[in-house]
Structure 1
Amino acid sequence: MTVAPMTDMPDTPRKRPWYIPPEGGFRAEDLDRIPELPPHTQLIDGSLVFVSPQANFHMLTISLLEMVLRRLAPSGLRVRREMTITIGPRQRPEPDLLLVRAEGITGPEQTTYRPEHVELVVEVVSRESEVRDRERKPQLYAGASIPHLWRVENTGGRPTVYVYELDPATDSYALTGIHHDRLKLTVPFDLDIDLTEVDRL
């Protein structure tokens, strides 16, 4: 029996590199299936979004807000840091902080939350994510009916918090306040945060 030389054999299909999107783009469940993904990869409009190294302001601001929210949040709410929300098949953004209702937590292996369980999202804007944090992600959160959004900007090394509340008549966010040195609110619950504390962390 004659064996055909290797060069005459049909090509075997090559494995598609993980960073090449499949036809139609990536889907929300792909974030749990691709082992090579860098930590905190997001999915926005079917495209993978990778995180740049954190600046000191970004890290300190998140830490301050997380610390106070954990201390003041009512028993029915849980604070989560840098976890995704599955908004749709091609949308799985990751806010810097989120407040989740306790009934939306399923266990220690959970990697994402449903928008109907999210009460608040917090985005600390960095230079590489300005357009996403100021425009696209708020659109996604509002479209998913998440009631509250805080957008945090760097003003001379201090956090300025832009507070938004969902207008159910328009399914869009309305700006309810801009807070510089102190964040004092009654929704989603009573809280009072000294934003200048970021200098002492």
Structure 2
Amino acid sequence: MARTLPEWMYPPRPSGWEADDLDRIPELPRHTELIDGSLIFMVSPQRSWHDRIIRRLTSALEDQAPAGHTVEARMTITLGRADRPEPDVIVAAVPYDPNRTNFLPEQVTLLVEVVSEESRARDRETKPFKYARAGIRHHWRIEDEAGNPVVHVYELDETTHAYVPTSIQRDKLAVTVPFAIAVDLSALAR
């Protein structure tokens, strides 16, 4: 028995999907990303740990972000025609807009990926490369280390257009860029 895909699942053009297409397809599952012109569906269930870290980190960053910044969880960023990934947390130097559906690289101050089993390769390899090429200066990757969040902090090297690690932080997170941030990491997972 052959299954046919719903009409909306077929790319609208031979070159594939484009970033703006994500706003025009009401049937798309929540948390759909566009990577290299291909739709990535985030339909596998996430662990409670993943969701808790995102929610609590988003709240901590909202409390500490400078005026005029907004913090969003699970919102896409348009990196180019064929790329619109969805980081777990975005801090952007723009005011809150209730109608916003995505951010542009020049608006983003910090991106955070909380690694899950399903997205491990994308979160560690594909997405950081694309974020760096788009010029986003600050990127964090959070890994699960025996139930505790460990933050890998990266900063963009302007010469190479690649991220360089600046620290790996456990228990307490303390950074001065992109702005002063202090987070009790052990409390995020409790």
TM-score by length of 1: 0.88
Q: Secondary structure at the match of 2:80?
A: coil
Aligned to 1:173: 163
Deviations 1:120-141 (A, max 9, x none): 0000000010110000000110
**In the alignment, does 2:46 pair up with 1:54?**
yes
Aligned to 2:98: 108
CA distance change for structure 1 residues 172 and 158 in 2, over 3 Å: closer, same or farther?
same
Q: How does 1:49-198 map to 2 (within 5 A)?
A: 49-51=40-42, 52-102=44-94, 107-198=97-188
Gaps of 5+ in 2: none
Corresponding residue to 1:40 among 21, 31, 42? 31
Corresponding letter in the other structure for 1:70: E
Corresponding letter in the other structure for 2:18: R
Per-residue deviation at 1:24?
1.1
CA distance change for structure 1 residues 101 and 60 in 2, over 3 Å: closer, same or farther?
same
For 1:16 and 1:196, how far apart are their aligned partners in 2?
Answer: 44
Deviating above 2 A after TM superposition, structure 1's stretches of 4 or more consecutive aligned residues are: none
Per-residue deviation at 1:16?
7.0
Gaps of 5+ in 1: 1-14
How many percent of aligned residue pairs carry the same amino acid? Answer: 49
For 1:198 and 1:120, how far apart are their aligned partners in 2?
Answer: 18
Per-residue deviation at 1:76?
2.6
Corresponding letter in the other structure for 2:36: D
For 2:188 and 2:142, how far apart are their aligned partners in 1?
Answer: 13
Q: Secondary structure at the match of 1:53?
A: coil
Corresponding letter in the other structure for 2:112: V
Q: Secondary structure at the match of 2:9?
A: coil
Q: Secondary structure at the match of 1:57?
A: helix
For 1:40 and 1:90, how far apart are their aligned partners in 2?
Answer: 16
For 1:190 and 1:17, how far apart are their aligned partners in 2?
Answer: 48
| Cα-Cα RMSD | 1.5
TM-score by length of 2: 0.92
Aligned to 1:5: none
